[in-house]
Amino acid sequence: MTSKKKKKNKKNKTKVKFRKNLKDQVLDVFNHNPSQSYNYKQVSSMLNLKNKSKRKLVMDVLAELERTEYLKEVKTGKYQMNLKSSLVEGRIEFTAKGTGYLISEDIQQEVFIANRNLNHALPGDKVKVRLYAQHRNKTLEGEVLQILERSKSRFVGKVSVSSNFAFLVTASRRVPFDIFIPLKKLKAAKDGQKAVARITDWPEQVNNPFGEILEVLGDSGNNETEMHAILAEYDLPYDFPDSVEQAADKIPEEIPKEEYERRRDFRQVPTFTIDPEDAKDFDDALSLRKLKDGKWEVGIHIADVTHYVKPDTILDKEAYDRGTSVYLVDRVVPMLPERLSNGVCSLRPNVEKLCFSAVFKIDDQAHVHDQWFGRTLINSDRRFNYQEAQDLIDGQDGDLKNEMLTLNDLARKLRKERFQAGSIAFERVEVKFLLDELGSPTGVYFKEHGEANELIEEFMLLANRKVAEFIGNVPKDKTPKTFVYRIHAKPDSEKLETFADFVQKFGYTINMKNNRTITSSINELLEKVEGRKEQNVVETLAIRSMAKAEYSTHNIGHYGLAFDYYTHFTSPIRRYPDMMVHRLLARYLEGYNSANAKKYENMCQANSDMEKLAEDAERASIKYKQVEFLQDRIGEDFEGIISGVMEWGVFVELSDTKCEGLVHIRDLDDDFYIYDERNYCITGQTKGRKYQLGDPVHVKLVRADLEKKQIDFLMLNKR
């Protein structure tokens, strides 16, 4: 290239950059004065532009902004901010294709953000966006002007090192870029290792951000490394700071003498726990005794975590930041240090323990006649796992058999009454992996959900419901005190109708007349599909048609359980909202005024967010193990069911293992396929072949990518 051409290119680049800066400056004039109108001379004066060519460029910019509907021409040559154009704040989310959209409380519709207008914004970032209307598809479009708050500060990936520089290569679709790492900021990370990095700089005209390694997680493929990587990807901790462990170690296990005097004593009442075989944190126990009037006293005893974890202490702050215990495939990452979760607070057998209890007087028909809430002292007689409890229910002899059978009989009646009232029976098949000593999956099994599980479930539901009613169900002339509710909104009617249309294809019907008929027919449907090939698909879609349960101080009831009042009281070892409930209940039992509603609503929102992160991490760990389990079976054929349909392909769930992978639409090369979102299918434009949710199919495994946690299939044929 000649020097003359180089000078010309440099001049053109300078001109383009000046024009972009000028455009931003002109927009700032109108953004700060949205009700005023200006001509090019006024704008030029406000920007202190006296050069004739630059003032001419202002005219061109004004005309361009009018064409793109940022501005409108109110008089010849005079412009004003378009009413459809304004600045809004919100959070950025990405589609599967990597384009962005804004979710904002300021406007009622989503705003499309093209890649060129994201300006380095990432999913979840809080941003300021300039809006403008676009007539195509009547979509509102915008451009990110400013990143107000990053949603992520830490990024996980595999280190790729060359002779002069390195990159952190991210596999998450939520982070569609790699981070440039100078060699001096590698922190001894080796090529191929997993690490955590942070962004230190991201110049405007540069595609990739600059960063530094914060922590080296270990070698890729190592189970410990990969599980820590999943936790780090969702900003979840995998160990406790030394200061938190030290604070936990200082808490004595001995019960102070004054606690014996101020608590209701249940140490002589038959009491037991029922938990999974591998559980170590026992946070609930049941007691039973017959009263003189022939009724039953049922005690639901919950570990008194808030006796040990005081507000605003280092332990409390750590628990609040975590929000919940995280259950990955091979481990539990507890909310509280193990000294508390598995020791001091855990309701271990033959050890005196402090509890917060809900005690009910119940007749043989499971009707509640009286209730009491308060702090107690227990000594569990026996720790059952679910199978041992089930054996007693099934007729085997053993300790506390009569108590177990009586409680199970009462639980059956509570369950029947709950379903008659409109509760929905969502009981998904739970897939578990058999793991070797290195954490590698050697097999898959499906977790049984028997009557012993239902026994515990019903009494936990009873305690949660009655505690919520006790606080929230007040006379109409009184205002309920601030409380933490577990709420579940009614399903979106359009989603329900789409679901009803879909199941009709299998010969099932949903009666949409009212809430009672809807829940009744959904329960009937879930019962009918049990054991059929379409079971998992129908159950999945039924759940998707429902809203997501969350925490709030604003009670709207729980649709799925058909409860007007519901909370979480029964698992304070693993859920922070239960600790909030314990504190509020204790406060009101002692006669104090209502707590600060805004403070608790903010805490509810934070805990709902942490719950979602924990669920996402759990799903990611399951997906990783699915890929790991199948990686040695490339080329094998499998039977499966279409479990999802998107515009980019169909998801297939394997019948024998429930592992799920994708058949890319690009690999369906026998036709051009059209996506039908409402009917959950894709259809060949020429031959008319249809792939629909729930269809049985025959697929070949072609790829198992551990880094991306992706399984890819090729379609062989529909069965």
pLDDT digits (tens, 9 = 90+) for 631-673: 999 999 999 989 889 988 999 999 889 899 999 999 998 899 9
Residue 4 pLDDT exceeds 60: no
Residue 69 pLDDT exceeds 80: no
Contact 568, 581 (CB under 8 A): yes
143-178 pLDDT, tens digit per residue, is 898 999 988 888 999 999 998 899 999 877 667 789
Third-level CATH fold of 634-718 = OB fold (Dihydrolipoamide Acetyltransferase, E2P) (2.40.50)
Which residue type is seen at 551? Answer: Y
Residue 66 pLDDT grade (very low, low, confident, very high; cuts 50, 70, 90) = confident
Give residue 24's pLDDT.
77
Beta strand ranges found along 12-154 (DSSP E): 37-38, 71-75, 78-81, 87-94, 100-103, 111-113, 126-133, 140-149
Third-level CATH fold of 155-220 = OB fold (Dihydrolipoamide Acetyltransferase, E2P) (2.40.50)
What the block records as the tokens of 165 is 């520089």
Burial class from Cβ neighbours inside 10 Å (0-12, 13-18, 19+) for residue 552 reads middle
Neighbours of 20 (CB within 10 A): 12
Third-level CATH fold of 3-81 = Arc Repressor Mutant, subunit A (1.10.10)
Q: How much of the chain exceeds pLDDT 70, in percent?
A: 94
Give residue 135's pLDDT.
42
Nearest to 79 by CA among 30, 145, 123: 30
Across residues 195-218, what is the average pLDDT?
92
Contact 21, 59 (CB under 8 A): no
Give residue 14's pLDDT.
57
Q: What is the CATH number assigned to the segment(s) 87-149?
A: 2.40.50.140
Q: H helices of 323-448, where?
A: 338, 386-393, 401-420
- Least reliable range by pLDDT among 175-189, 238-252, 294-308, 449-463: 175-189
Across residues 445-474, what is the average pLDDT?
94
Q: Domain extents for the chain?
A: 3-81, 87-149, 155-220, 239-490+547-620, 634-718
User: DSSP class of residue 659?
Assistant: -
541-592 pLDDT, tens digit per residue, is 888 888 899 999 999 999 999 999 999 999 999 999 999 999 999 999 999 9
Contact 570, 457 (CB under 8 A): no
634-718 matches 155-220 in CATH topology: yes
- Least reliable range by pLDDT among 30-39, 221-230, 296-305, 700-709: 30-39
